[in-house]
Structure 1
Amino acid sequence: MNDRPSMLAQPLRAPSAARIAVYVLLLVLGAVVGAAGALVQSGWFPGGLLLALLGAAGLFLGAARATGGRGGAVAGAAGWMVSVVLLTASRPEGDFVFAAGAGSYLFLLGGMAVAVMCATLAQGRQPDGPAVRLGK
């Protein structure tokens, strides 16, 4: 048997400055992808919507793989969500980015669904060592 304690029994460690910087970068990148997707999805309706959702999915899955856990996908999704929600608000002048149409709602709801799927399906941290399976 492995004499190392379980991951759950180990004390919490403070994240390094590099890890925090990666998460902040993913948050900003998520905001950029959300703003770009908001502009593209309305410009070229059927293809732009698909391109915007595929770009968001690529960011979320790539962030999860790059960080080795679900936190990367969540950081990218949080940046995406903040930028999209801020762009849905109308300004005092009456300007807005999102029109009240099917494409805008599909982008909002589809992006949220993609974020949840990518964060859920991302590989979590796996225990290391030779005895990671019971009975071996």
Structure 2
Amino acid sequence: MSTTGRQGSGLAQPLQRPSGGRMAAGLGLFVLGAVVGTAGALVQSGWFPGGLLLALAGAAGLFLGGARALGTRAGAVAPAVGWTLAVILLTASRPEGDFLFGAGLGSYFFLLGGMAAGVMCATLGVERQPGAAPARLEK
């Protein structure tokens, strides 16, 4: 049994109800993910290859930062879902025939690289620190 009184890994812990603040933070991260996905879609082809690297680094930073900010995997999932939803909606062509993404290799790297970054950040999550030990050990 661990020092916190719980047994097993983080995956085996019972689910807890999220607080209102945590839900608001998740919604904010979702919206921020959509904004970063839209901005990345515009930047990635404009300054190739630097724009592609900048867009992917921004997305990965948001996903990892969300996980660290909330302290859970949900902090990485919320912006990743917002990013993916925005990017998928931007790939669809309009009735006029306009579309945002070109048929180049950079667009595919952006789509697949961003999704892979989201999956990696959500899978890695945040490591939990063990319970605090007393400052002095008894002799």
Q: TM-score per shorter chain, which class?
A: 0.7 to 0.9
Q: CA RMSD in A?
A: 2.2
1 CA distance for matches of 2:6 and 2:123? 26
Question: Does the alignment pair 1:64 with 2:63?
Answer: no
TM-score by length of 1: 0.86
Match of 1:108? Answer: 111
Q: 2:48 aligns with which of 25, 45, 51?
A: 45
After TM superposition, give the deviation of residue 6 of structure 1 in Å: 3.1
Aligned in 2, Cα 1:21/1:7: closer, same or farther, shift over 3 Å?
A: farther
The answer to whether 1:17 aligns with 2:52 is no
TM (norm. structure 2) is 0.84
2:40–2:56 CA contact under 8 A, matched in 1: yes
Q: Percent identity?
A: 68
Q: Deviations over 1:93-132 (max 9, x none)?
A: 111000111010010011111111111222144553549x
Structure 2 contact 56–113 (Cα < 8 Å) conserved? yes
Deviations 1:40-91 (A, max 9, x none): 0011110000000000011011001001121101111000000000000000
How many residue pairs were aligned?
Answer: 131
